[in-house]
Chains A and B, each alone.
Chain A
Amino acid sequence: MASKPAHRPLQEPAFLVLSALAQGPAHGYGISKDVEESSGGRVTLRAGTLYGAIDRLVAAGLVEVDHEEVVDSRLRRYYRLTDDGGTRLAVEARRAEAQARQALERLASRRAPGSRRGRAVTGGLGEVPA
């Protein structure tokens, strides 16, 4: 029996916030822009949601405050990944990668020549895009 994972999978916004911070410290607005771009515009983290998520990530010890600066009278607080945050992000990324690879392998096996199921399904699905 497979061992029970230590954590439930991260929700997508939390994963994307950690992913944004993997490049280095960033402030809230920078994180929200990065999340929007890296999700292809699918996920938009507005201020109210973002700072609630950051607060929870800080409490979980995955993110911490790096430094603050004031630009044009506006406070920018920079956050960075902690070691635990980096480890957790790596675990989540590997899990997502493994799941995606498995899904692609299964799709490929359905298209394999000589496979009864492959023949039956290929006609309906056609090529699976890369």
Chain B
Amino acid sequence: MSTDRRDLPDVPEPHAVVPALVRDYRRLLRLFPFAYRRAHGAEMLGHLLDAAAPGRSRPARGEVVDLLRAAAREWVLAPLGSTAERRRWGAVGVLVVLSVVLGYPAAASIGGAAGILGRGGGLHGVLAFAPLAPGWALWTVGLLTLAVGTVRGAAVVLGAAAGTSWVLLGGMAYLGPSGGGLFPVLSGLGWGLALTATAMAAGVLAGLQGLAQGRRRSERAVRVAAALGALMPVVAVVRAALGVPAWFPEYASPVTDLSGGTVVVGTCLLVGGLLVARRARQALPVLAGVGAAVVVGRTGLMGSRGLEPMDVVDVGNLWALLAIALVVTAVARWVVNRVDELSEVRSTVMLAG
């Protein structure tokens, strides 16, 4: 026993447990992501065994439900980081990068929708030619809330933006075979994932801000990035309201306008830069997954570009695109977690030296 252990309320001495119980607890703990198990698995097992009544041979139902719920939560949040501290930095990085990067497609969609409405195209025209405009409009409001209001409020609005975009994409997928094909859904899936990632990052930050004020510098970076991201769509709407023509085409794409070499070199520089920085690399997996979905959905890799008729895109392509985004995110997370482990070992060795 430790000598500095304080008087705890009735913490029993460890007692012998039934081997089947240990096996069952180990199985349940294996449901958690590896990085989480590495951080907490051993102490959780010790806790569960300490708490087990003598003679018990199976985990209690409440324990099983609690562990399943906690494991599911960890898997959902795993793309942003394996611990809450890493998730904080992952969320900050995702919000800063996506706020700035998504400003352009948001402005293109909202500006296009405003132009259509200004020409008397009506809601039908907006849904036909700028289908995700309602989602982008909510996203812009969310960013404005993030820039000048509360993170919690922003998380709610950004969540609504993501939900709206998925409803619209679902509707387009449902109508796709009889409508204009599934190509618009394929090219919009990346934006749906991007809006979801933004909402998730804001939600994580909001949860942690309830416990403590955010680090001032990262909080300022998020607010500035949000203001910058919201600026382009706001300007697009103002120009449309004033009758000034949009300065970009309604279907501009920052990805397809770049050459292959520029995209590859830019991606390598971005990934390398993010991997080196301890905090910024936590955002890499989510950004990589979203980036993969946006790029693949807009290139000829899946036969979705330059093909006539467009409805050669089928539901399988949509699932494949989501799978690609998931795999890229998982692989990038694995790499980042290993880099984190190496840097932990390195700092331990340096401290010991």
Contact = CB atoms under 8 A, between A and B. Distances in A.
Contacts of A3: none
A26 B8 contact: yes
A28 B83 contact: no
Contacts of B39: 55
A30 B66 contact: no
Interface string A49-76: 1111001111111100001010110111
B342 interface: no
B85 A52 contact: no
Contact of A56 (B4, B8, B50, B211): B211
Query: Interface size bucket, B side?
Result: 35 or more
A24 B332 CA distance: 40
Nearest to A76: B46
B1 A71 contact: yes
B49 interface: yes
Interface stretch (B9-17, B122-130, B164-172, B307-315): B9-17
A8 interface: yes
A106 interface: no
Contacts of A48: 44, 66-71
A60 B46 contact: no
B44 A47 contact: yes
Contact of A29 (B11, B67, B71): B11
B11 to A, nearest CB: 5
Contacts of B14: 71-72, 74
Given A59-B83, A61-B212, A78-B5, 4 more contacts: A46-B62, A47-B47, A48-B70, A59-B211
